[in-house]
Amino acid sequence: MSGPRHDAGAGMNAPPIDRFPVLRSTDVEHTREVVFRFVARHPVELVHPEAGVDAYINGRRLDRVGAAYLAFGAEARTHPGQLDFYVLQVVLAGTYAVWLDGHEVRAQPGAAIVLSPGPDVRTWWSADCAMLCFRVSAADYRDHLAGLLRRPLDEELRFEPAMDLLTGPGRDLNLGIVRPLTQRLNQVFGLVGNSVMIRQLEDTLLTGLLRAQPNTYSAQLR
C-alpha cells in the first residue's frame, strides 16, 4: 500500500496541525467511526478493503471555522450527500475527485476544491491522497457575507468548485492566508482565550475565499 506523504508542501515537514491529533489508525472500523463523528456524518468505503488503511486526522476548531488534515492511506470513496456547510479542500498529495450531481471535478497538489451546500456530493481519494480542509456552517458563512454586503442575501451563496492555487487570486489566498493560518492553528497556546484574534483570523479566511474564488456574489464584492 502506497500511503500519503504527511506534509503540507515546501517548508513544512510534519503533517499540518500535528499538535492536535484526532486519529492515527490502521483499524478500518475505528477510522470509519472517527470520520463519521469528527469530519462529517457519511460513510467511508474502501476500494480495496483487503489493503487496510493508514489513516491520519489532525484537527482544531476555532469558533466558526474548523480545520482538519485528512489522509486515509487507502483508495477510498465517500458519499457526503447534500452538505449543510461550506468547505475549502486543499489537496496536498495524491488525487482527489468530487462528483457534484454527476459533474466531476478533480484536484491534485496545487489545486483545491470548494464545496457548497446544495448538490449531491460523492468523492474519491487515491491511496496517497492527503488534504487540508477548512469548514464553516452555511448559516455562519451567510451571516459573514451579509455583514460584508451590509444587507440580507437575496440568493444562495455558491462557489465554483475548482480552484487553482498556483496562479492568480488562488495563489495569493494560499500563500497569504491559508498557509499562515495553518501554522497559527498549530500553536498550542497562542489562540486560547483570545476571542478577538480568533474572530479576526476567521474573518480573514472567509473574506479571502469570497474574493479569491468565483461565486454568486463575486461581482458585488469587487
pLDDT band at 97 (very low <50, low <70, confident <90, very high): very high
Q: Give the position of cell 461565486.
A: 215
Compute CA 11 distance to the chain's CA centroid, rounded to the nearest angstrom. Answer: 20
More confident residue, 210 or 38: 210
Q: Cα separation of 28 and 53, whole Å?
A: 6
More confident residue, 190 or 163: 163
Q: What is the mean pLDDT of residues 38-57?
A: 87
pLDDT band at 168 (very low <50, low <70, confident <90, very high): very high
Reported as a single tens digit per residue, the pLDDT across 26-36 is 999 999 888 88
> Grid coordinates representing 79?
458519499
Sheet of 21-25: strand order equals 21-25, 55-61, 65-71, 130-137, 85-93, 111-115, 162-164
- What pTM was estimated for this model as a whole? 0.92
Q: What percent of the chain has pLDDT over 90?
A: 79
pLDDT band at 151 (very low <50, low <70, confident <90, very high): very high
Q: What is the mean pLDDT of residues 91-118?
A: 96
pLDDT exceeds 90 at position 25: yes
CB 214 within 8 Å of CB 169 = no
> Grid coordinates representing 96?
482527489
Reported as a single tens digit per residue, the pLDDT across 177-214 is 999 999 999 987 777 678 898 999 999 999 999 999 99
Q: Cα separation of 28 and 183, whole Å?
A: 30
pLDDT band at 4 (very low <50, low <70, confident <90, very high): low
pLDDT exceeds 50 at position 1: no
Nearest to 93 by CA among 55, 124, 128: 128
Beta strand residue intervals within the chain, DSSP E = 21-25, 44-46, 55-61, 65-71, 76-82, 85-93, 96-100, 103-107, 111-115, 120-125, 130-137, 162-164
The pLDDT mean for the chain works out to 91
pLDDT band at 64 (very low <50, low <70, confident <90, very high): very high
